[in-house]
Structure 1
Amino acid sequence: MSLKSSTPEAIQSLVHRITQAANNLATVNGSLQFESESARRELVAAAEQLLLAVRSPEENIFSIAQQPAQNAALRCAIALGVPDALPANGDSCSLDDLSRTLKAEKTLLSRILRACVATSTLSEPSELCYAHNAVSRTLLSSANRALLTLMYDYNGRAIIALPEFLQARKWQDAGSYRDCSFMLGSHTALPMWEYRDKDERCRETFDLGMESEIVAALSVGKAIGSFPFGRELVPIPSVTDNNKQHGLQEELTIVDLGGGHGQALQDIRADHPELLAARFVLMDVEAVILDAITAGLPAWMETVAGSFFEPLPAPIRGAQVYYLRRCLHNWDDAACGILLRNVAAAMDAVQSRLLITDMVIDNTNAVKEMAWEDLNMMTIGGIERTERHWRCLLGDCGFRIHKIWRQTPTEHATIDARLK
């Protein structure tokens, strides 16, 4: 019996969308480029929907189910060292030569390479000869290889363990930081971040993977989000004697809570020279602050050691801006509640604001990248939140959302929250 298209009535309209989106291509310096990122994403979305429409329902569901095997082939190629063994200039290399170079049995190696070719991860110019293509060349970067290794060895095991983990909980809750599917998948009693700190291989893979250009390529806009720091954070007038008595900050003070090695503050200051006179403060736990100082921090950046799960230290109370970049998605609502209430207690009701750069998932028809990322965060006890969820969480902790700064559905948004 022949397989029928999933939605044949949609095929013609999708072909029209693809044609229209392709019209947004322009020739720049001899190469085709899209007029905008949104135009490129429209073509990608239409092409993916066309593939789903043309395939039968059975083909679509089977394609989804096959993805673990595709990921395994990619991980095997990385572990074998295939990317570095192939000529970087695109010349082909025979199976015999690859087998000798990689010290891998030929039949076994050919099966792995065949699976990579089938998903366009490698090219096969002729029988039993292999070469780099545009996709596989991304694997020449050690940071890219580390990111994909991290995703398979740690995130992947946690994702595979997720159904078993949730079923054991009778589907009543998603777990927490100290009780999550990562621990089940990695056979450890340690949650993700503590495991990373104690396991040298995991730590090295994680740190190198976070330098990958893949992370940047998948994030539209800047890592600090689309918030216009320079335009919004106008100079603060001199404080009154009454404010001074309450320990409020006279100059514009931006505190990055849980800011790691201070990269976000450096990006903000570099992108907004009108804020050069502001006071920039990096707060994180003592071990991270010491690492940041050892690695080298600019003289203009102050540091404060502390945990945002405890009352904020006196030197940063009453600041104009408290910044949380990609922190809250690591924690469930209970943990975030503690954190947010600590921030609220340190804020001034008039001049302070809380900026949160994180994902804000659409309330309906969420884009797949965000839905998948939410499941990834679920494995370590975290969550990517919808706009409705953010409003409820912040409202319960004494905040109101003043504005959400976002340009596209897949971009990290910045929530500007004030005390109620």
Structure 2
Amino acid sequence: MQSDRFDRQTCSSNHRILQHTYENQKKESCSILLGKSLQVCPMSGDVGDQVRAEATAAADEVTAALQIFLKEPGTAGSDLDKGQRRRIVDAAQKLISAVKDPGDEWFDATAQVAQMGANRLFWEWKAYDHIPPEGSISYAELAKKVDAEESLIRRIGGVLTSMGILEQVGDDAVAHTKRSRIYMDGQPAGQIVGMAWENGMVPYVQMPAYFEKYGRKEPQTLNHVPGTFAYGVPEYGWYEMLQHDPPRMQRFLRAMGPIEEKMPISGIYDFTWVVDYAKANSTDRAVFVDVGAGRGQSIKAIHKENPELPLDRCVLQDRPEVVEAVKQLDDADMRLVRKQVIDFHKEQPEKGALTYWIRRCLHNYGDELAVNMLRLIADAMAADSRLLIQEDVMGNPPHYTSTMLDFMMLTFGGKQRTLDCWTDVLGRAGLEIRSVAKGQGPWRHLAVIECVKAGQK
């Protein structure tokens, strides 16, 4: 025990010496650490009137957002509540950016990478599950439970406690915080972070090599995308690769499930005119064709909001295995709905429907593939048909919640799009935008884009 105490005291002393040396030499040594290019950007930062003005404006935004949150609170977990919290966070980030020394950017980036790596290890080793929900566990005991060396667990845990993910208790124990509990087994948020590692971080590391091989341009094919390149199977498309790796496919589906469940389908676009048309025209013309419908979530949600929408004039379209699964499920709400097998990249079989609906599908594809898919639908449309696309519409300048998703979609060969980009892609497919209906609160970037054939009003 004396030896152990001596080692800790020695480590602590050495740490203080190194920290003192680092602080004294930080400004003087930045050019050595980061390259001579930083000499034009002093580590002391942009101290002056501009910084103070930006900080004051950002602080006012924080105060205003906080006052709304306190005086007009939404129900916990509601869209209003989430929107209010997001405004506070965004304003606080502006304040941090205003006062932060730009020379510390390298420090923040390094810390974020360390946090992501440490978190991945604890998550994959189930260390979070071995920490009691209440109370603490010693590093020694935690190391035994995950079959790892105690000193290694201390180092990984040190990253996570220093960044507020976990809480250190005394000298030898660690406990959960509200941030770490999301990584316990079965928690949706933790599964999403796991997906961010597999679908984001791993491909990101290989992106320089990918673009060196394929050129500095967006991928425009189903295969040879950054994600499959990173995993050594560039000849596969992303979803084809997942089909060859069932455990990873299951992790992907578990992570996406909670996102899809929370994302609204109805309540953005007004389908009243579709119902009115169906009442006034009692033919067998399809009034709602769901392209890539999955198990019919959109049809059910829209019918729930518009119960007079005739289900026998709705069409569910998807791949053969999906359509067969819907038939086998025999959902009572879907029995009247017509089921059709389709290939997104071949002729649209349902001609002249009143509306075609395609939800969160086109963002999986680059522009060239998306244009082809849209052109096939346009060719099937009648003069009075409408194509309804439910997708994110990125702002310009974009919010970081949109860009981080867009960057991950790049690994699949997909793309998040601005309104200008949607206009371009649709125009190349022989379509034009008639209206854009947007969601509210945290879903303000989610939209339904109503399109008509070019030249039709």
Could you say which TM-score interval applies, normalised by the shorter chain?
A: 0.7 to 0.9
Q: CA deviation at 1:212?
A: 3.3
Deviations 1:362-412 (A, max 9, x none): 2x3111121222221111211111111111111121111011111458531
Q: CA deviation at 1:108?
A: 0.7
The verdict on how the C-alpha distance between 1:232 and 1:114 changes in structure 2, with shifts beyond 3 A counting, is farther
Equivalent residue for 1:262, pick from 268, 283, 296: 296
1:134 partner SS: coil
1:208 equivalent in structure 2: 254
Deviations 1:227-254 (A, max 9, x none): 23346653335459xxxxxxxx646621
Whether the 8 Å CA contact 1:121–1:135 is kept in 2: the answer is yes
2:347 equivalent in structure 1: 311
Equivalent residue for 1:299, pick from 319, 335, 352: 335
Q: CA deviation at 1:43?
A: 1.3
Cα separation, 2, equivalents of 1:236 and 1:267: 18
The verdict on how the C-alpha distance between 1:295 and 1:74 changes in structure 2, with shifts beyond 3 A counting, is farther
When you count helix as a share of all residues, which structure comes out higher?
Answer: 2
2:37 equivalent in structure 1: none
2:45 equivalent in structure 1: 4
Equivalent residue for 1:354, pick from 381, 384, 387: 387
TM alignment of 1:11-410, pairs within 5 A: 11-26=55-70, 37-88=82-133, 90-142=134-186, 143-188=188-233, 189-212=235-258, 222-223=264-265, 226-230=268-272, 233-236=275-278, 238-239=280-281, 250=284, 253-275=287-309, 279-297=313-331, 298-313=334-349, 316-350=350-384, 352-362=385-395, 364-407=396-439
Bigger Rg over Cα: 2
Deviations 1:10-39 (A, max 9, x none): 111211111111111237799999965543
Q: CA deviation at 1:91?
A: 1.4
- Return the TM-score normalized by structure 1: 0.87
Q: CA deviation at 1:268?
A: 1.8
Q: CA deviation at 1:76?
A: 0.7
2:33 equivalent in structure 1: none
Cα separation, 2, equivalents of 1:387 and 1:401: 10
Report sequence identity in percent: 23
Q: CA deviation at 1:308?
A: 2.1
The one-letter code sitting in structure 1 at the alignment partner of 2:339 is T
- Return the TM-score normalized by structure 2: 0.80
Q: CA deviation at 1:177?
A: 2.2
Cα separation, 2, equivalents of 1:266 and 1:253: 14
Whether the 8 Å CA contact 2:319–2:342 is kept in 1: the answer is yes
The verdict on how the C-alpha distance between 1:404 and 1:312 changes in structure 2, with shifts beyond 3 A counting, is same
Question: In angstroms, what is the RMSD of aligned CA positions?
Answer: 2.8
Cα separation, 2, equivalents of 1:24 and 1:181: 43
1:266 partner SS: helix
Tell me which moved more, 152-161 or 49-58.
152-161
Q: Tell me, which stretches of 5 or more residues in structure 1 are unaligned?
A: 241-248
Whether the 8 Å CA contact 1:332–1:383 is kept in 2: the answer is yes
The verdict on how the C-alpha distance between 1:175 and 1:62 changes in structure 2, with shifts beyond 3 A counting, is farther
Deviations 1:259-316 (A, max 9, x none): 2222222222223324255633210111222233334533233311111211112xx3
How many corresponding residue pairs? Answer: 403
Q: Tell me, which stretches of 5 or more residues in structure 2 are unaligned?
A: 1-26, 28-42
Whether the 8 Å CA contact 2:342–2:348 is kept in 1: the answer is yes
